[in-house]
A and B are shown apart, each in its own frame.
Chain A
Amino acid sequence: SAVISQKPSRDICQRGTSLTIQCQVDSQVTMMFWYRQQPGQSLTLIATANQGSEATYESGFVIDKFPISRPNLTFSTLTVSNMSPEDSSIYLCSVEDGRQSRETQYFGPGTRLLVL
């Protein structure tokens, strides 16, 4: 399966600031996904990022708050803007690995964010 890395692995931030999370994949993938996992909760899809097009956001998530870049087929960033304590979560990058099977998603290790 694809090997996915994320930076930073964790961070503590002050409210009102922004944090950019990077996701790097060891192979070219068409679709990349960003999820949020609030403490003790399941995963919620934030957006789908395809290379060369605008990200598609799920209900409840907007581009101004969570801008996403997808400059090439191996890399994406998610920015959490104007943070508040409610943004404290684990943020996970995910990809489809077309070499395996398109319906399966694989996940990065996550970025643990605490907003004070």
Chain B
Amino acid sequence: GNSVTQMEGPVTLSEEAFLTINCTYTATGYPSLFWYVQYPGEGLQLLLKATKADDKGSNKGFEATYRKETTSFHLEKGSVQVSDSAVYFCALRTSYDKVIFGPGTSLSVIP
């Protein structure tokens, strides 16, 4: 079945450090891929998405590229801020099936 794997957390970085959160997936067909972010005490917000191979999603300085050959969708940001502290969820969806979420990666950015 479809599944999403994310790097284990928590991740702690200093402000302005480079961020990578790894995400790999298993899916039949050609899924759309998503990154959602959950700030403390809030619901999920869509951060970015990509719907086909080699697409790059980007938002708020975050980027992720849909790599079909490695079945990956790693999240990157060049310079993190304290305000980026949150839990990040990688997710996939195939052909209007239900969304499959990864386990989430907690990020803490310290000044």
Give the residue among B44, B51, B98, B101 with the most A Cβ atoms within 10 A: B44
In the bound complex, do residue A42 and residue B49 qualify as a contact, i.e. CB atoms below 8 Å apart? Answer: no
Interface size on B, residues (CB 8 A): 19
For window 72-116 of chain A, which residues contact chain B by CB distance below 8 Å? 90, 92, 101-110
Contact among A101, A104, A108 for B43, CB-based, below 8 A: A108
CB distance from B55 to the nearest CB of A (A): 13
Q: Are B44 and A42 in contact (CB under 8 A)?
A: no
Interface size class, chain A? 20 to 34
| Total number of residue pairs linking A and B with CB closer than 8 Å | 43
Q: How far is the CA of A48 from the CA of B34 in the complex (A)?
A: 20
Whether A62 sits at the interface, judged by CB under 8 Å, is: no
A1 touches B46 (CB 8 A): yes
Is B26 interfacial (CB 8 A cutoff)? Answer: no
The answer to whether the Cβ of B99 comes within 8 Å of any Cβ in the partner chain is yes
A45-B99, A103-B96, A105-B99 as given contacts; A110 in contact with B49, CB under 8 Å: no
- CB contact list, B21-53 vs A, under 8 A: 32, 34, 36, 42-46, 49, 51
Partner of B98, one of A1, A6, A41, A48: A48
A–B pairs, 13, beta carbons within 8 Å = A41-B103, A42-B102, A45-B98, A90-B43, A101-B51, A102-B96, A103-B51, A104-B34, A104-B46, A105-B93, A105-B99, A107-B44, A110-B43
Residues of A bordering B, CB below 8 Å: 1, 6, 33, 41-43, 45, 48, 58, 90, 92, 101-110
